[in-house]
Amino acid sequence: MKFGVIIFPGSNCDHDSYHAAMTTTGQQAIFLWHESHDLENCDAIIVPGGFAYGDYLRTGAIAKFAPIMQEVARFAASDGLVIGICNGFQILCEAGLLPGALLRNAGLKYICKQVYLRVENADTPFTNSCRSGEVLQIPIGHMEGNYYCDPETLATLQKQKRVVFRYSTPNGEITVEANPNGSLDNIAGICNEGRTVLGMMPHPDRCSESLLGSADGAKIFRSMAASLVSASR
């Protein structure tokens, strides 16, 4: 089993994701350069956080044209596992692999802090190690984390149970006060219809071991590994 972590000019969480994937699962991880056309037989792709191409124009707008993203799109179309974290979520939306867009935070300020997420759907390859309704403590670090989509798309996401995480209180209550950036419906993470592509603003790569203040992020990577093992049987 092998995780592939994409590196764009401006990525700054690539090594975090690389370390988290390997240490939490005991599996191999490699780096994939943005100009490459080869995913090197990876079983799962991580689009990490950072500021791809300096976030010029808008977040993810340039990164979606990178050669590697053409391969990621093909990989996703064949039900390959893809997770986009923070800037990676923004890139997946710009590339059309997930619906909606990430706007400036409601307070127009960069936010970096621990937040709480309620697991809304534990029946995905990214959350099978969690329970529905479980609350995870995972940090955020973003300026454009305010998720938005049109009413029709939101209704589809809700109907198909594709909202995977919502910002919540430590007790799992979905409140305005628990929403750090103004995201529509307190959305912190969504998946595609096939449940094989996940985008989330919080950073599981920054909380994969207790030394970092929380090890809840490890559940995301372990879920992916468990899904891949199950699929190979």
CATH of the domain at 86: 3.40.50.880
Per-residue pLDDT of the chain (233 residues; tens, 9 = 90+): 999 999 999 999 999 999 999 999 999 999 999 999 999 999 999 999 999 999 988 999 999 999 999 999 999 999 999 999 999 999 999 999 999 999 999 999 999 999 999 999 999 999 999 999 999 999 999 999 999 999 999 999 999 999 999 999 999 999 999 999 999 999 999 999 999 999 999 999 999 999 999 999 999 999 999 999 888 76
The structural domain count of the chain equals: 1
Q: Tell me which residue range forms the domain holding 31.
A: 2-232
pLDDT computed for residue 57 by the predictor: 87
Question: What is the pLDDT, as a whole number, of residue 142?
Answer: 98
Q: Which residues pair with 34 in a beta bridge?
A: none
